[in-house]
Amino acid sequence: MLDLERLRALHSVATYGSVSAAADVLHVTTSAVSQQLAKLERETGQKLLERNGRGVRLTDAAELLVTHADNILALVERAQADLEAHRGAVVGQFTMGAFPTSIRGLLPPALGALRTAHPDLRVQVQELDPMQSMPLVARGDLDMAIVQDWNNQPLPHPEGLQHGFICDDVADVALPPGHPLAGRDEIDIKELAGDPWISSSTDSVCCAWLIQTLRGCEAEPRIDHMAYEIPTQLSLVAAGLGSAILPRLGRCDVPPEVVVVPLKPALTRRVYAVWREEAARRPAIRAVLAALRG
C-alpha cells in the first residue's frame, strides 16, 4: 500500500520544482524528503526522479503518480474536514495569509476573540499579498487567505476555492505638500493621472490595479517609488515625491505634511476570505470567518 507521507513528499517536489523547496514547505530536511522518495521508489518498483543538470525531474511514472496524489490528498483533506465537522470542535493548527492593512485593521480583535472562544485552535498568520496567498491556499499550504479586489478590477480565483465576504473598504488619495489639488473636497483620479505615484511592488494587487486604472485614464503610469508598507509610502509622500492610494482599513498615522482627500467616484475594495472546497466543512473555517466579520 502506498504511504501517504511519501506521496505528499513527491507531490511537493512536483509542485515546487526541487527536493530542497519541498523540504522547506514540509518543514523537514532535504535528506528526509530524499529518504521518503527512495522508499516510495521501492514501494512502487519504479524510478521516480532523474538527474537534470543540478536538479531533478520527474519521470513519466512519477507524473502519473502525482496525478493520483492530487486526488488522494484532496480526499484526505475532505475526510479530515468531515471528521472535524462531525466532532464539532474548533481545534488544531490553522494557517492564514493576509495582506498588511487587513492584519493591522482586522486581525488583532479577531485573533483575540478566537483565543478566548476556542483556546485549542492555534492560528498562524503570514503577511502576504493576495497574488501570493491565493495560490498557497489552492495548493494546500495555507488554510485560508484574506484577500482584496477593487471595484473596477475583480481578482481572478484559482479553481477549487470558496470565498466569504468580510467587509468593504474605502480608499482615499494621499497628496504631497503643496499639491495644487490639496485644497479640494473631492478629486477624480483622472485629474491625477499624470502625477508621479508611490505604490507597492508591481506584482501586488494594489499596484496592478493602479496601473490599469491610470491607463484607463489614457495616461501611462509614472510609478517612481515602490514600497510595500503604507507608513513607508506616506513618508515618501510627505517628502514630496509623489501621491499614494491610502485605504481606510488599518490606517496608520498620517504625517502632518500629507493631505488626504476622498476620491470621486468613491474608490472601494472588497475584503474577503478564501479557502479550499475540500476544507469547507471544517468548524475552524466557520469560526475564523465569523471572528473576522466581528
Contact 163, 274 (CB under 8 A): yes
Largest CA distance in the chain: 75
**Consecutive H or E run containing 209:** helix 205-216
pLDDT at 256: 96
Q: β-pairing, 121-127 with 161-175?
A: unpaired
Query: Which comes out higher in pLDDT, residue 168 or 80?
Result: 168
Cell numbers for 117: 472562544
| Band of pLDDT at residue 87, cut at 50, 70 and 90 | low
Task: Note the pLDDT tens digit of each residue in 231-260.
Answer: 999 999 999 999 999 999 999 999 999 999
pLDDT tens digits for 36-71? 888 888 888 888 888 777 778 888 888 888 888 777
Q: Are residues 262 and 172 in contact, defined by beta-carbon separation less than 8 angstroms?
A: yes
Q: Where are the domains of the chain?
A: 4-85, 92-294
What is the model's pLDDT at position 85? Answer: 61
**Residue-level pLDDT at 52:** 74
CATH-assigned architecture of domain 92-294:
3-Layer(aba) Sandwich (3.40)
What CATH class is the domain 4-85?
Answer: mainly alpha
State residue 165's pLDDT score.
Answer: 96
- In angstroms, the CA 81 to CA 75 distance is 10
Contact assessment for residue 188 and residue 163, using Cβ atoms and an 8 Å cutoff: no
CA dist 58 → 62, 77, 216, 230, 238 (Å): 6, 25, 44, 43, 53
| 232 class by beta-carbon count within 10 Å (0-12 exposed, 13-18 middle, 19+ buried) | middle
Closest CA relative to residue 175, chosen from 260, 241, 255, 251 = 260
